[in-house]
Amino acid sequence: MVTDRGLLGRPPAVLVLADGEAFVGTLAAGHPGAEPVYDIGNYGANPDDDESGRPSACGLVVRDLSRIASSHRAEETFPDYLTRNGVPALTGIDTRRLTRHIRVAGAMTGGVFTGDRAESDPADLVDLVRLQPTMEGRNLVAEVTCAERHASPYRPSEVRYRVHLVDYGVKRTILRRLAEHGCDVTVFPAATPAVELLAGDPDGVMLSNGPGDPAAVPGVQDEVRALLGRVPLFGICLGHQILSLALGATSVKLPFGHHGANHPVLDLATGEVEITSQNHGFNVGFGEGERTSTGPQVFDTDLGRVEVTHRNLNDGTLEGIRCLDVPAFSVQYHPEAGPGPHDATYLFRRFVELMEPT
């Protein structure tokens, strides 16, 4: 069992939302004077489980944070992991009240204040919070994409397909799943032109997951349009949104977003329900009134016909599409994750089937 360093003295902290609501707690990690406490993170951290080179979160808000790591695979505690990566964690927050508030008011910008400011009147801090940029119109992909092309660290036992992956913030498990399906993967920065992605005649192109507003990533829609019909495409999460926008869809900021590992998604062709993992704040759509549909829908676009293949059973939002005239499809959720646990792995098989010679 791994235990933390037991640092003494937990500085006071306060979370202030853009609407003025405040939540008082203490700073328990990401600070040299932090002392972790109890619950969240009790497995600890292991580099083999990292989905990226570093965490991109600006902070963590919890009721309790575990100061021990109970997993035999853990190499450090979660608080130590956060401290090493400079991610502050607030504990002692009434997360039930926070959740209930956001359910009504919607997701919004928040600010974390420590030291003397933590004891200030929240009304004196809210203007600072409102000055911070929101997710809408902000290109977060530029902060997480790779700097240059590189080979995936996960190699297939037998190479059957060569895949070029556009990195909008790719999870490492996607690279592992592709390797398991015989794909030799080269990873490219998000702004890579289509002509470079097509160089070397890849068997397919993957549009990866990533953060933020799909409409705020400059130039990528044009490059995806240039790929359509030239090579099989598979998009996941942000990649799904960018493919959809390239085909003529529109995007909208969701009031709460879809986060977590228990979202039911209906496959409109088979009637089967998949339990999915999701993490996005935006959604895309092709037409008014589409959320009321319970069967497959087809939309005519300038680039061909697009069929809606999946819908969220909680709110009816679009969860998957496929092009009927060119080899391309995408899903809003994360098929590489395992909440089902294997409900959506067939999508990787579908991708390699698209790459089979005809």
Of residues 181, 180, 182, 152, the one with CA closest to residue 165: 152
At which residue do the structure tokens 């926008």 appear? 245
Q: Give the rounded distance of the alpha carbon of 110 from its chain centre.
A: 19
Q: Do β-strands 318-323 and 304-312 pair in parallel, antiparallel, or remain unpaired?
A: antiparallel
Superfamily designation of domain 141-355: Class I glutamine amidotransferase (GATase) domain (3.40.50.880)
> CA dist 184 to 42, 77, 114, 228, 330, Å?
36, 34, 47, 21, 20
Number of C-beta neighbours around residue 356 at 10 A: 10
Instruction: Give the tens place of pLDDT for each residue, 279-316.
Output: 999 999 997 566 656 666 899 999 999 999 999 999 99
Instruction: Give the tens place of pLDDT for each residue, 59-111.
Output: 899 999 888 899 999 999 999 999 999 998 999 999 999 999 999 999 999 99
| Whole-number pLDDT of residue 111 | 92
Give the residue with greater pLDDT, 214 vs 4. 214
For 293, counting Cβ atoms within 10 Å of its Cβ (0-12 exposed, 13-18 middle, 19+ buried), the class is middle
Identity at 233, one-letter amino acid code: L
Asked if residues 199 and 222 have their Cβ atoms less than 8 Å apart, the reply is no
Of residues 60, 120, 67, the one with CA closest to residue 93: 60
Percent residues over pLDDT 90 in the chain: 75
Is 334 one of the catalytic residues? yes
- Give the lowest-confidence range in 139-143, 153-157, 210-214, 290-294: 290-294
Asked if residues 233 and 193 have their Cβ atoms less than 8 Å apart, the reply is no
Which residue in the list 237, 274, 319, 323 is annotated as catalytic? 237
> CA dist 215 to 157, 220, 315, Å?
38, 9, 22
With a cut of 90, say whether residue 115 has pLDDT above it: no
Asked if residues 299 and 313 have their Cβ atoms less than 8 Å apart, the reply is no
| Whole-number pLDDT of residue 7 | 34
| Whole-number pLDDT of residue 114 | 87
Q: Domain locations in the chain?
A: 2-130, 141-355
Contacts of 358 (CB under 8 A, 6+ apart): none
Instruction: Give the tens place of pLDDT for each residue, 17-39.
Output: 999 999 999 988 665 444 444 46
Is 237 one of the catalytic residues? yes
| CA 191 – CA 142 distance, rounded (Å) | 9
At which residue do the structure tokens 């450090």 appear? 76
Q: Is 285 helix (H, G, I), strand (E, B) or coil?
A: strand
Number of alpha helices (DSSP H) and beta strands (DSSP E) in the chain: 8, 18
- Please determine whether the domains at 2-130 and 141-355 fall in the same fold group of CATH: no
| CA 302 – CA 235 distance, rounded (Å) | 19
Fold of the domain built from segment(s) 2-130:
Glucose Oxidase; domain 1 (3.50.30)
Which residue in the list 240, 263, 280, 334 is annotated as catalytic? 334
Reported as type and span, the H/E element at residue 24 is strand 22-29
Of residues 60, 107, 114, 105, the one with CA closest to residue 82: 60
Asked if residues 311 and 317 have their Cβ atoms less than 8 Å apart, the reply is yes
Identity at 48, one-letter amino acid code: D
Q: What is the pTM of this model?
A: 0.90
| CA 167 – CA 185 distance, rounded (Å) | 11
At which residue do the structure tokens 């060569």 appear? 162
| CA 79 – CA 14 distance, rounded (Å) | 18
| CA 105 – CA 92 distance, rounded (Å) | 22
| Strand-pair partners of 274 | 265
